[in-house]
Structures are given as C-alpha cells and as structure tokens.
Amino acid sequence: MTLPRPDASLEDVLAHADSGIDRSLERLFTLLAIPSISTDPDYGAHCQAAADWLSGQLSELGFDASVRPTTGHPMVVGHDRSATGPSVLFYGHYDVQPVDPLELWDTAPFTPTIGEEGGQKVIRARGASDDKGQLMTFVEACRAFKAVRGALPIPVTILFEGEEEAGSASLGPFLDQTASELTADVALVCDTDMWDRETPSIITMLRGMVGEEVEITAASRDLHSGMYGGAARNPLQLLSEIVASLRNPDGSVAIEGFYDGVEDLPDAVAAQWQRLPFDESEFLGDVGLSAPAGEKDRSVLQQIAARPTCEINGMWGGYTGQGFKTVIPARASAKISFRLVGDQDPARVREAFRSHVRARLPEDCTVTFKSHGGSPATSIPSDSEFLTRALGALTDEWGREAAIAGSGGSIPIVGDFKRKLGMESLLIGFAQTGDRIHSPNEKYDLASYHRGIRSWIRILDALSA
C-alpha cells in the first residue's frame, strides 16, 4: 500500500478503481446479501442491518457518518467536507423490492452471484441494479479518491434512504429536520438507466406517481353463489367493470380531468429522441410483447417516458387457492398507480380517480381508499452548469455523447430536493432496461458497476474544476 498523494492524477484514481474492482465487488456482495425489503414489516431488522453496514463503510472512508432513526426504516448520512469547491449531496436507497414469486428466480435473490448473459458478465441478486449496485458505484469512487489522493475533490454529503420502494413516508419529515445539514449546491441521484449499453445519459424529466389502494365491499359476508348467485352484487365483477372503465379504447386514461397539465414534448427533445437509437420492437420483444398497449397516437418512447398512464399493480378477491370455491366474495381490492407528467397535480389526480370510482358504485356497496404516496413530475433546466460538466465527464468515460433523457419511473426524491432543499438533481445511473428490477432474476451488468465507479470519479473531478 502506497501513501496517498494529493497531487495524483485523475488517471491514477481511475487505475486504482480498475485494480481494486474485485474487492469493490466483494463489498457490494456483502450489501446484496442483506434482505432489506422495506414494504414487508417482517424485514425491518434487515433494513436496519443494511443501514448499519453502509454507515460503517462511510466511517471507514473517513466520513462523519451515522444511522439516523425515523418512524420507519433509518436513514444513513455521511459528510466529508474537507475539500473546497461546489458541494454535492449524493442520494441512493438501500431498500429493495419484495422477491415474490420466488419460484421464478434462477438463483436465490439474496445470494449474489456473477453470471453471464448475452456475452456480458452480470451481478445477480435482488437490488443488484435497484439500487444497491448503483449507490455502491459512488461509494467506491469516493474510496478510490481517498486511497489515491487521501481526499475527495469536492465537499460530499451522502444520504441513503431505506423506504424508497415503500412510499418514502419518513423522507419528507427527515428532509425538513435536516435541511441545513443536507443542502448542497447540487444533488447527485443514482437510480436510473443508461440510454443503452453504450450510451450514458442524464435524465432531466421524471414522471410523477400517485399510488392508490381501493377496496369495494358489497355483501356483509361471503355468499354461496348457488344460493345468492344472480341476485347478489359481486364485487369482483363490479371492480372489474370499474377497472375496465379507466381506459378508453384508444389506450388513453378515461378519468375526467386526468390530462389537465399534460403538455406535448418540447420540439428539441422530440428531435433528439428521434435521432437516438431506440427499437420499439426490440424493447417490447425483450419481454415477450409485440403490440404497444398505450395511447395509439404516441410512440412507445413517448408512452413510457413522456405520457401519463394508469396501471393495475395488483388485484385480488374471493377464493384464489387450489381447487374451486363457488363463493361470491364480500369484497374485492386493487392496487392502482398513475404515472404523471408535466404539471399534473397528484392530489387532483387522486381525487379524480376516487370520484370516478364513487360515481360507479351501486348504493348498497361501499368503497375505501388508501393512499400509497404521490409526487408530481419533475424536470431539470437544460442550461445548468453542473449538467454540462457531468455530461462532459460521461462522454469522456464512455466515448459517446451522453443523452438527455426522460424517465418513465418516479423518483420522488428529486421533487423533495427541489421543494424542501432548493436543489436541482442530476440523475445519473448505469442500469440497463433489461435489468429486471422489481422482477425475478434482477441483475446489474458488471460493466455498469465498474464503469459506473469510473464515471463518478470523472464527474467528481469535473465538478471540482
């Protein structure tokens, strides 16, 4: 081990990351082995363990790091502000999605392994891509600077959340309490995809989201369909009719006022998207589909990144076990989410949905709604100096012009950083579309991990210039 040299070159730092990649990977595997599923209360201790481990890693690197309790899963905060220059707040989340259906996994979800897929080495585990692999690219970039130069090039604060997959209930209050501690010149968020395997991207548009759970109750108890079938209201039939009524035949959402605040894509972005490589057939074909199911007058790229939508994420009621039970269930439920764009107001969309359901309810049925969070869409000004420097650093690393992109998924943290801390966010991630996040057999390309670390080294360096 050589002593750190403050004047070591960027190439030296990158070379250190290259030679240490195996040990970087071992550390990621340790984190991936912790089943930190945030939506299931049974996994609370594992979320705590993941937070503790991350805080320990940051402390080891010389950060002033600690685990901060919340009413939900804890936050991890670390500061290293010894450098001068523009300050950054890095954000990632250590919680992961549930793993069901478990039988569809080829490897145990919390036993990380290296596999091969399409000629690429891949890291297989729940959270490999979303978001443990991504957040560790930044930690390892910091590690390389510390090892080679003994210091980071700019002041860095790190925030790791443990409820991103569960609605981020504790985040707003936490940001309110720690605003002065966390506010930096710009936020760096690593939870997004590259444009494709060769083309890095920074996402400037993010869809918002509204999550709703609806339960419809008809009879006061389950009924025998032989005795009541025909005369008794069937809540599964009713809920199906309501769900069917959410979409128009042209693929658009049929809720009154849903499109208020939605505008067409700016011409410049639309033009860039036509230039950039995107194969609709391949995008759908990769997951066994061939016919786009959204608005008929929009491209697939617009449907997934620039248009709002409504999705049924779960639905259940009646007898769902083996065999058959001729029951008319008393109740039926669904989890439904809306992706928002532009100036759509989450509260108004939620209320419009609830009105839509209530208007279709027979008088002897009741409905209850449960909110599962909401956030507006967000976008980042294209003339930001931080954006320009980061695009340059990515272009240097990947040898290809970085794309400015929109993302179909919601990252509510971006809106929170803007509203609560007054910060813009640079959304820079190294995941691939085919990483199967939220699904069985999640993976993260080994190249994403390695070159992700290198990319952050370059970006931190570029921001310090």
Question: Is 98 among the residues that bind a copy of itself (CB under 8 A)?
Answer: yes
Query: Would you say 127 and 462 are in contact if contact means Cβ atoms under 8 Å apart?
Result: no
Question: Is 224 among the residues that bind a copy of itself (CB under 8 A)?
Answer: yes
Interface stretch with a copy of itself, choices 80-88, 223-231, 390-398, 418-426 (CB under 8 A): 223-231
Question: Is 317 among the residues that bind a copy of itself (CB under 8 A)?
Answer: yes
Give dist(CA 210, CA 373) in Å, integer.
Answer: 6
Question: Is 304 among the residues that bind a copy of itself (CB under 8 A)?
Answer: yes
- Amino acid letter at 332? A
Query: Would you say 353 and 255 are in contact if contact means Cβ atoms under 8 Å apart?
Result: yes
| Sequence-ordered list of residues with C-beta below 8 angstroms from that of 142, at least 6 positions apart, any chain | 61, 80, 152, 156, 460
Among 112, 133, 211, 452, indicate the residue that binds a copy of itself (CB under 8 A).
Answer: 211
Query: Would you say 404 and 428 are in contact if contact means Cβ atoms under 8 Å apart?
Result: no
Among 6, 119, 288, 381, indicate the residue that binds a copy of itself (CB under 8 A).
Answer: 288
Q: Restricting to residues 331-390, which ones interact with a copy of itself according to CB under 8 A? A: 332-335, 337, 339, 362-364, 372-373
Q: Minimum CB separation from a copy of itself for residue 172, in Å? A: 17
Q: Minimum CB separation from a copy of itself for residue 235, in Å? A: 9
Q: Restricting to residues 11-30, which ones interact with a copy of itself according to CB under 8 A? A: none
Give dist(CA 282, CA 280) in Å, integer.
Answer: 5
Give dist(CA 361, CA 358) in Å, integer.
Answer: 5
Pair of tokens at residue 264:
């067409």
Interface stretch with a copy of itself, choices 84-92, 378-386, 390-398, 407-415 (CB under 8 A): 407-415
Pair type for strands 64-68 and 75-80: antiparallel
Question: Is 294 among the residues that bind a copy of itself (CB under 8 A)?
Answer: yes
Question: Is 458 among the residues that bind a copy of itself (CB under 8 A)?
Answer: no
Q: Restricting to residues 41-80, which ones interact with a copy of itself according to CB under 8 A? A: 41
Question: Is 229 among the residues that bind a copy of itself (CB under 8 A)?
Answer: yes
Interface stretch with a copy of itself, choices 225-233, 258-266, 396-404, 457-465 (CB under 8 A): 225-233
Q: At what angle do helices 446-464 and 21-32 cross, to 10 degrees?
A: 110
Sheet holding 208-217, edge to edge: 331-340, 208-217, 366-375
CB 146: neighbour CB atoms within 10 A? 19
Closer to a copy of itself by CB, 154 or 242: give it. 242
Question: Is 241 among the residues that bind a copy of itself (CB under 8 A)?
Answer: yes
Closer to a copy of itself by CB, 240 or 395: give it. 240
